[in-house]
Structure 1
Amino acid sequence: MNKEIESVEYFFHNEVPDLLQNLAAETKPVWGLMTPQHMLEHLIVTFKMSIGRIKIPVVSAEEDFPRLKAYLMKDSPMRRSVPSPTGKNELQPLRSANLDEAKTKLVKETESFLSYMKANPDAVADHPFGGPMTANEWIYFHRKHFKHHFIQFGLIPDYE
């Protein structure tokens, strides 16, 4: 396994659980409508999408996939308040009983994804904007996506 993948895995195994300890139900977002629990449940859904357990239609044109994938995997800031690919921009109903349960579920989904990725390195699942993405492509996207939402809730500083 290459050093960059190891670095991303370290982020998920070590940094994410520590950062989640600083997230409280009353934490206000810097932008957007999500509550902390909505954000965690959104990240859970994205993990499920990346291993094919949830399917969301691809909304981008195939000729745009290379450019969009490059953006999705690059460790750089994401645009804020991106519209949902499903067209549903309102908050979704909460699925967990509370924030602590959502944190536990997110850590579990993170581990499930990392295990799946190692066991299925050639697996491909559709990203609604980037099209078909491999397990390695998804792991880079997840890091970018987590950082985006962790910045949103002040858990990490914005990119310099």
Structure 2
Amino acid sequence: MKNIFTNEVTEEITSRIEYLTSESQPIWGTMSVAQMLAHCCVTYEMVYTNKHPKPNAFTKFIMKLFIKKIIVSEKPYAKNGRTAPQFLIVDEKEFETEKKRLIDFINKTQKLGEKEFEGKASPSFGNLTAKEWNNLFYKHLDHHLRQFGV
């Protein structure tokens, strides 16, 4: 899997995002392009903000047991998969605002680098390796950029 912590891969992902327009349509799924960008920001909001509630101990245990491997492995996500409630974006979003927010989060993560993420705790899955964080970040972005044909 490509390494989102490298400048080269960050630039590749950013250039794919730049190909999107406010009129881009999904190949599958029902989110608008602005909603998709906001949805992708949630992953980073969970790392950098306290905007989303943390799962309770039981939910975290279940997520670690059944969901973690799907999220942090190198196996691509299935199309039209279920998502956690905090990732559901149902209201309309402003395309340029969400695009800038996502690119800023991606760049911040790349600048912090792998060392910052080695052993860093995920609110949902506990401590993750830098490789697991990479897989989580890159795979999610790649999945949704493919959803919109970029």
TM range (shorter): 0.7 to 0.9
Letter in 2 for 1:21: E
- TM-score, normalised relative to structure 2: 0.75
Structure 1 residues 1-160: aligned runs within 5 Å: 7-10=3-6, 12-51=9-48, 53-58=50-55, 60=59, 62=61, 65-66=64-65, 68-86=67-85, 89=88, 91-94=90-93, 98-116=94-112, 118-119=115-116, 121-127=118-124, 131-134=125-128, 136=130, 137-155=132-150
**Cα contact 1:25–1:37 (8 A) shared by 2:** yes
Separation (CA, whole Å) in 1 of partners of 2:141 and 2:45:
14
Unmatched segments (≥5 aa) in structure 1? 156-160
1:158 — aligned with what?
none
Letter in 2 for 1:139: N
Unmatched segments (≥5 aa) in structure 2? none
Write the deviation string for residues 116-142 of structure 1: whole angstroms up to 9, x where unpaired. 454453321223xxx224262222111
Separation (CA, whole Å) in 1 of partners of 2:127 and 2:22:
33
Letter in 2 for 1:149: H
Q: Which has the higher helix share?
A: 2
Superposition CA RMSD, Å: 2.9
- How many percent of aligned residue pairs carry the same amino acid? 19
Write the deviation string for residues 4-55 of structure 1: whole angstroms up to 9, x where unpaired. 77x3323642111111121111111112221111111111121111345333
- TM-score, normalised relative to structure 1: 0.72
